[in-house]
Amino acid sequence: MNSSSNTFTQQLQSAWASQGSMLCVGFDPDPQRLPDTFKAKSEGIFEFCREIADATADLVCAFKPQFAFERYGADAVTVNPYMGFDTIEPYLKHAGKGVIVLCRTSNPGGSDLQFLNVAPNGEPLYLHIAKLAAQQWNASGQISLVVGATFPEEIAKVRSIVGDMSLLIPGIGAQGGDIDATVKAGSIPNHPGTGMMINSSRAILYASSGADFAQAARKVAITTRNALQAATKK
């Protein structure tokens, strides 16, 4: 694996090693689904997320805030490649931060553009993005790619292009992506347990709507972390 002076990548590599976990908890809280004690508070969403974070910090390699909050102090931002590299480059000036580029998204409309075959090789657009990211945009080592867990074959194709670049994989948990197939497809060859932030949001955040929400979240996080570890050993 390349050594890297990049803080975000270093943090990830360190977390993969020390936590033994590729689990990433995504914070996209729905105010309607908060436990009742948080609904009434003006800072309820933040307190809820902090309690979930406290209950799962030793089980994850990263936390991922929702888009609207990630510009405020998060370790990484998610960016859309449609406008090209000069709209991504400014985020790379924050040397310690990761920049996560949308590549293959798991929503139903993701194929509208991402699956278009592009010249000169006729490869789908999302693989062209993966090549641009790996070969032209990532001189600083800060870039990761979003690749949905619902398409393990596509994760494998991206991995074959991007070397040891880290991938953010949404779609595990409530969205039902296959953990074994995802881990097999996306891990860095010869470095099991590394290379991905495998995101779970709702399955962990809303494991319980009662007073035991934090313990319930921890329990689901442990189960998911263990399933990821088991898949790594298969």
Whose Cβ is closer to a second copy: residue 39's or residue 71's?
Answer: 71
Minimum CB separation of residue 127 from a second copy in Å reads: 12
Minimum CB distance to a second copy, residue 160 (Å): 21
Amino acid sitting at position 148: G
Burial of 186 per CB tally in 10 Å (0-12, 13-18, 19+) = buried
Measured distance CA(33)–CA(27) in Å, rounded:
13
Q: Tell me the C-alpha distance between 200 and 137, whole Å.
A: 27
Q: Which is nearer to a second copy, 57 or 113 (CB)?
A: 113
Please state the φ and ψ torsions of residue 196, each to the nearest 5 degrees. Answer: -135, 145
Q: Report the nearest approach of a second copy to the CB of residue 6 (Å).
A: 22
Question: Least Å distance between CB 213 and a second copy?
Answer: 28
Closer residue to a second copy in complex, CB, 148/152: 148
Q: Judged by CB, which is closer to a second copy: 81, or 195?
A: 81
The residue ranges that bind a second copy (CB under 8 A) are 80-89, 102, 105, 107-114, 116-119, 122, 125, 128-129, 132
Q: What is the DSSP letter of 14?
A: H
Q: Which residue has the tokens 């088991």?
A: 230
